[in-house]
Amino acid sequence: MTQRRSLNLKLVVSVLTAFILSMAFTWFLHSRLSERDAYKLIDRTFESAEDEIIDCVDVRLVLQCMAARERIDDGYPLDTESLQALAKELHVTEISVANPDGDITYSSVPDYLAAPGKPAFNFRTAGGKAEDMMCLVTGPETEYCQPYRSNTANGAWRKFVGVWRPSAGGFVEIGCDGESLRGLSRSSIIDLFRNWRVGGTGGIVVTTATGLILSDYEEPNREGSLWTDPGDSFYWKRKEIEGFPVYVMVPKDSAAVQRDVLVGATAALNGAALVFVALLVGFVISAFVRQQLRIQSAKELEMAKDIQLAALPNVFPPFPDEPRVDIWAAMDTAKEVGGDFYDFYFTSQDHILFLVADVSGKGVPAAMFMMRAKTLIKSIAQTGKPLARVFEEANDALCEGNSSNTFVTVWAGVINRHTGHVTYVNAGHNPPVVMRGGKAEYLKSRPSLVLGAMPGVPYHVSEIQLEPGDSIYMYTDGIVEQPNASGELYGEDRLLKMLGDGTRKRAAVLNAVIDDMRRYATGVEQADDCTQLVLCYRGDPETFSGKYRPTMEDLAKASADLETALVQVPDACKNRLMVAADEIFANIVRYSGATDWTMTVERTRYPDGVRLVLTDDGKPFDPLAHRDPDTTLCAEERAVGGLGILIVKKTMSPVTYRRHSGRNILTIGSDYGNQDKK
Amino acid sequence: MEIKTKNEGTKLTISVSGRVDTVTAPEFEAGLKFGDATCVVIDLENVPYMSSAGLRLLLTAHKTMLASGGELQIANVQPSVKEVLDITGFSDILNLV
């Protein structure tokens, strides 16, 4: 869960970072774009402002020039001093009069006039821009304005304007310096720019050459004060037009309005997209994590099941040297791990404990409780304490720290292997079935409390005397509580009927019950673990023992002894045993180097069977460890070595070998009673 | 163990009674004299069982007859003996009739 939360946090942080980065980039991009747009706007404004100013100044100066022409045509004196006075009166810098040839005939500027050794200034021959003024003589222009520029003659800045003089031919020209220009056109320029808006809230400021503000947008009260650069909150540019310093300025925040709208819209869209992507990614990741967790927990359950199964004894028959008591058990696990178990072991030389148990609940906790209960019961039982005491101590131990209130039902019995007497305790478990003489019935007894529920509880011991041939069948409720397709349970009656068919023995019973239950529940998944254990009491075997020397005479004697011991055994089984025994006798006498050897014959019942135990003090020899000869070769290639052991292994079951106290001990068995039923 | 032989020209029939094991194998071996018979029949009708000691003798007899160009037949094999012959693969080698 903590992992999930930290994953979510990481996800949110990554998404936020991506969002902020993308917004910062958009902001930066749009800032650059709006700055570029603002300067484009400023440049365009300058272009039209320049045209307007030039028009405005031109009109004003042409009027002034016409005024000069009118005065001159009316007979104003044309000497230099008079013209200088007229220039002053008209607020222009200079006045000149040219004849049709382009010669300046009169002027307020003496330098333009002819003097000794120097001709008058001639527009036609002066070259440069001056020649353009000749259009007034040649036509069709009647007024002509030159831009404000540096004079080619003396480098002073002037704007020249000329008007045709129809009365005398030629023309009158006036020239204005910056101050005169500004003086003449100031008011019209102020009117021009005062209400000129640039990009909504921007505008134009015009100043004098010395920086005094002539025209200001929106803030007329600033006019007359000194211009200062507007600083960082404006995009602005300065340009001098017709002698006027002109400033076009656009407030940055007004230029940024568009950017803010764009960025805002982008932020909203991006935010929505990122939230959607984050949700999607979160969903995909959490689905993936959930799947991984499922796989993991399935693996853990599988492991728990394996550990559980591995903890149960699984070698059958469990006590090959004990002919009186026979135990078979099986656990068929359901898909989900449960808490079933069975167990059996000697608690003293004469007593064998056997039990079946079922832990409440399922899953890993049940499996762990099962391991604890199993180990606990075994460790207490093997101290040799009476069964009731074993249960009381195990119960007290299981109650300790059992906060989950898990408990376990147990049916356990202890059989005296010589007498068949069984004492048993039932701690809340299903009663077992006793099979006797082809009949089956439940072994009812006063049940005690389950283990692990409450400490200090007493456990009642009951007892039953088993006769040779009797069996006790124990099981867990997974069998009787398995439902079929219509939801009806397999039930105890069906189980009893199944067990009452006395033709089956031991392991065959276990398989038959499971098969019958599965047939009953065809198409339905197994609901719970099904655990079964059957104990058969076979009683004391008839035994014969003999001791022999390694000679052919004794071999013949042993063979005869065996034939006598097997007199009641059916021929087929007897013949097999005689052949197998002969192979082993021959091996001992010929190859073992033994000084003596023994044979024990045990004839057991329920089911009928024979066990031969052969011991010798010869060199260690495990016949089971030898490889079988190749029985597929043709006659020429065949040897006879090893065939004897092969025959023993193929005809006898079980065959076990061990080396003990310097003797080879070979046990061979044949349960002909069981084989005949197959 | 009892062994009877019946000679019909080149055909020799050897009838055995009693088990064949380590104890009786020498007796059985002594009875397996074929002379110049080209067809030998060993009748095991009265042999209840046979251990590998007997198998060895049957294999030797079979190889001897093959070498001399003759034939060995094993007749009337009882179930217990058949089982041992099957386990050891001798059923495939010997002529069981």
List, as one string, the DSSP characters of A174-236. Answer: EEE-HHHHHHHHHHHHHHHHHT-EETTTEEEEEE-TT-BEEE-SS-GGGTTSBP---GGGEEE
Shortest Cα distance from B30 to chain A (angstroms)?
17
Q: Does A85 touch chain B (CB under 8 A)?
A: no
Query: If we measure between CA atoms, which residue out of A193, A232, A238, A199 comes closest to residue A216?
Result: A193
The SS3 assignment for A580 reads helix
Nearest to B87 among A556, A589, A647 (CB): A647
According to DSSP, residue A487 is labeled S
Q: How many CB atoms lie within 10 A of CB A459?
A: 21
Residue with tokens 């094993």: B74
pLDDT at A677: 36
Among A508, A450, A520, residue whose Cα is nearest residue A479 = A520
- Is residue A276 packed enough to be buried (19+ CB in 10 Å), middle (13-18) or exposed (0-12)? exposed
Asked if the Cβ–Cβ distance from A582 to B87 is below 8 Å, we say no
Chain B residues touching residue A585 (CB < 8 angstroms)? 22
Q: Where are the alpha helices (DSSP H) in A74-173?
A: 80-89, 123-126, 135-138
Could you write out the three-class secondary structure of A250-265?
A: EEHHHHHHHHHHHHHH
Contact state of A576 with B92 under an 8 Å Cβ cutoff: no
Q: How close does chain A come to B38, measured CA to CA in Å? A: 18
Which residues, 6+ apart, have CB-to-CB distance to A293 below 8 Å? none
Question: What digits encode the pLDDT tens for the residues A308-359?
Answer: 888 899 888 888 778 899 899 999 888 777 889 999 999 999 999 999 999 9
State the smallest CA–CA distance between residue B4 and chain A in angstroms. Answer: 23
**CATH number for the domain running over B2-96:** 3.30.750.24
Residues B44 and A384: their CA atoms lie apart, in Å, by 58
Least CB-CB distance to A559: which of B23, B48, B89? B23
Whether residue A582 and residue B66 make contact (CB cut-off 8 A), yes or no, is no
Q: Which of A179, A175, A181, A149 is nearest to A162 (CA)?
A: A175
pLDDT lower than 50: segments of chain A: 675-678
Is the Cβ pair B80, A579 closer than 8 Å? yes
* A555, A579, A646 member nearest B23 (Cβ): A555
- Tell me how far apart the alpha carbons of residues A111 and B31 are, in angstroms, rounded to a whole number: 172
Whether omega for the bond prior to residue A607 falls within 30 degrees of 0, making it cis, is yes
| Whole-number Å distance between alpha carbons of A367 and A304 | 7
Report the pLDDT value the prediction gives residue A14, as an integer from 0 to 100.
82
**Closest partner residue to A631 among B79, B88, B94, by Cβ?**
B88
CA-based nearest distance A660→chain B, Å: 27
- What is residue A218's predicted lDDT score, i.e. its pLDDT? 65
Q: What is the DSSP string of A147-181?
A: PSEE-TTT--EEEEEEEE-TTTSSEEEEEE-HHHH
Distance to chain B for A598, nearest Cα, Å: 18
Whether residue B51 and residue A644 make contact (CB cut-off 8 A), yes or no, is yes
| pTM for this model (two decimals) | 0.55
Does A552 sit within 8 Å of B22, measured CB to CB?
A: yes
Question: In a 3-state reduction of DSSP, which class is residue A671?
Answer: coil
Identify the residue among B19, B27, B51 best suited for mutation to test binding to A, counting A beta carbons within 10 A and taking the highest.
B51
CB contact (8 A) between residue A582 and residue B56: no
Chain A: residue nearest B23 by CA?
A: A556
CA-CA distance, A635 to B82, in Å (whole number)? 17
Domains of chain A: 2-172 (3.30.450), 181-253 (3.30.450.20), 312-537 (3.60.40.10), 542-677 (3.30.565.10)
Contact status of A637 with chain B (Cβ, < 8 Å): no
Question: What confidence score (pLDDT) does residue A219 get?
Answer: 62
Q: Does A459 touch chain B (CB under 8 A)?
A: no
What is the least distance, in Å, from the CA of B62 to any CA of chain A?
8
List the single residue in B with minimal CA-CA distance to A642: B52
| A677 three-state secondary structure | helix
What does the pLDDT read at residue A305? 81
Is the Cβ pair B48, A575 closer than 8 Å? yes
Q: Does residue A120 contact residue A112 with C-beta atoms inside 8 Å?
A: yes
Q: Which of A559, A575, A586 has the CB atom closest to B80's CB atom?
A: A575
Burial of A67 (0-12, 13-18, 19+ CB in 10 A): middle
Reported as a pLDDT band with limits 50, 70 and 90, residue B61 is very high
